[in-house]
Structure 1
């Protein structure tokens, strides 16, 4: 009993001490200095970060567009194979019907074909007359069985091909979904950075972007790159340029290929498609597959590919100028051909 009383008293003392000590601890914690806020980024740093995000979004857009193009090709291939499977099955049914008819005829004749019965005749002339028909009938039967075997083999191949096409189609769809998620994430982050700026800062950011482009263009022109350009514009290139420049003022939209909005390669693809020259969908594929030319041999209508990853493209229209769809938040416009890092030049025609 005494032990219990001593224990209760001890607990009471500890609680009292805790209560008495709490205000002091609270005051001490309140007096502790807060960590300094992170240093505010300069406008130049924000500009660099935003441009980097839009560049990454452009690269992901190329991945999305390529996956979309491959999905469309795969879907068309699946339709083609499905038609071949249907035709193959119809052919198998037809061959089976012919084989069945031959078997029924043989059954009606006591298990022997009609020509075989004629061969068994005692009439030598009749034998000679029907021997050829018997040989032709045997060949027809062999051909029928051979055709059935080959058709069934083709059907098996088509079925395997259809399965592979479905697998490939699903893989492209997964890549599309991943690229779409990445694109939206990068664009949302860039827009958030811009939205956090005051109106005055956003205007200064726009001017900063223009000044950077002008400096790059002036530096490019200073190399004398345009001095030797003599290439004449082809009729097809004129049509492509007319179409592309007619889109000036329409908004950039990733994955768009007209008629109300475009991404960079969607604009160049449709422009050249309108001129009668189909070209690949993405800037990276346009760079990879179209014939390359030296800048010194460049002529209006050629496509200039930008950045090391070929993530942007524009159409050269002459006088050191391109028409292009820049990025989200911007419209199709004219710009200096040297205002961005040039990877190379390709020629659709």
Structure 2
């Protein structure tokens, strides 16, 4: 190739490169954020509700421990005041005896005093009195020493109980803040939804509960519904019925508002059978019964961590204090994932295994 042709090719190539060089890339618009499905929204919302309920149960448990610790502090303070009063009296008695001994002290031995006495019989009686006073003094000093030790012990226990109370009070505040944070998350999510989304959400949740209820009842897991409540169970159930329509409030035990375990614990206390305050303690400490043996008045426990509880009404229904923003109502037993059931007045019942085969709606 001649030099001139080579220069023309190079010039053309440069020109072509100049013309055909790619233009700067234009900014690509980011895709619109995908609208979450109703199922995803429901999962998020129910997760927040569950976290709020877990935090509520933690708060309730701390509150119960704090009540017990306050009672212990008051009891120890009263006992310490009584012991200090007794200690004051014992010290006064010891002082009087010491003065009496000092006033009657002498260097003459009792034997010589008896020989020199004008009335030996009187001297003997006086010696007996002095001996009795000495024995009384020994007893008084013994009581004084024992009371001092007891006062010291009670003072140490009272200080520790007070320290424990302060620790629990700090934990209670932390638990309360956790509940409020979870509920703020619920409110934030609900506020971000349109009226149409909220309506679809409620409809989707209801459909899920109905499906779970059908699966549970057709599976035969509940058994025949012919059992009658016990006398105590009937009273607890009547109490719960009267609360229907009252608002849910976390940490509340009535009489105007309740949370889930506040309702069940008050219902059974009304029946004369006190039970633990929290759903977790109710599940841990009360006799368990299989779902097939459920009778009205029994307690139905929900979620793997036993953070929700309702009272069985019969015919596959329960009375529950559901969650913040709702009221106490009658619900299908499968409204939440079932864990099992307990019977507060069923001490003769053997513990049952967890309701692992009982189908339940896994959302709420």
What is the TM-score of this pair, normalised by structure 2?
0.81
TM-aligned CA deviation for residue 325 of structure 1: 0.4
Q: How does 1:133-172 map to 2 (within 5 A)?
A: 133-172=129-168
**CA deviations over 1:108-158 (Å, ceiling 9, x no partner):** 22358xxx9699423664566566555543332222111111111111111
**CA deviations over 1:270-321 (Å, ceiling 9, x no partner):** 1111111111111111111222222222211110111110000000011111
CA distance in 1, matches of 2:106, 2:53: 75
Pick which of 93-102 and 194-203 moved more.
194-203
What is the TM-score of this pair, normalised by structure 1?
0.85
Describe the shift of the 1:72–1:125 C-alpha distance in structure 2 as closer, same or farther (beyond 3 A): same
Describe the shift of the 1:300–1:110 C-alpha distance in structure 2 as closer, same or farther (beyond 3 A): same
Partner residue, 2:30: 35
Partner residue, 1:176: 172
Partner residue, 1:252: 248
Structure 1 runs, 4 residues or longer, greater than 4 Å off: 116-119, 123-135
User: Residue 69 of structure 2: which of 68, 74, 79 is its match?
Assistant: 74
CA distance in 1, matches of 2:55, 2:177: 9
CA distance in 1, matches of 2:155, 2:308: 40
Alignment size in residue pairs: 318
Residue aligned with 2:161, SS: helix
Describe the shift of the 1:111–1:105 C-alpha distance in structure 2 as closer, same or farther (beyond 3 A): farther
User: Residue 114 of structure 2: which of 105, 108, 121 is its match?
Assistant: 121
Partner residue, 1:18: none
User: Residue 95 of structure 1: which of 90, 100, 103 is its match?
Assistant: 90
| Residue 309, structure 1, aligned to residue 302, structure 2 | no
Pick which of 147-156 and 307-316 moved more.
147-156
Q: How does 1:1-349 map to 2 (within 5 A)?
A: 31-110=26-105, 120-122=113-115, 125-126=121-122, 129=125, 133-349=129-345
The question of whether the paired residues in 2 share the 8 Å contact of 1:92 and 1:152 is answered with yes
Q: Structure 1: which 5+ runs fail to align?
A: 1-27
CA distance in 1, matches of 2:251, 2:278: 10
Residue aligned with 1:51, SS: helix
Alpha-carbon RMSD: 2.2
TM-aligned CA deviation for residue 35 of structure 1: 3.3
TM-aligned CA deviation for residue 38 of structure 1: 3.2
Q: Which has the higher helix share?
A: 1
CA distance in 1, matches of 2:120, 2:318: 91
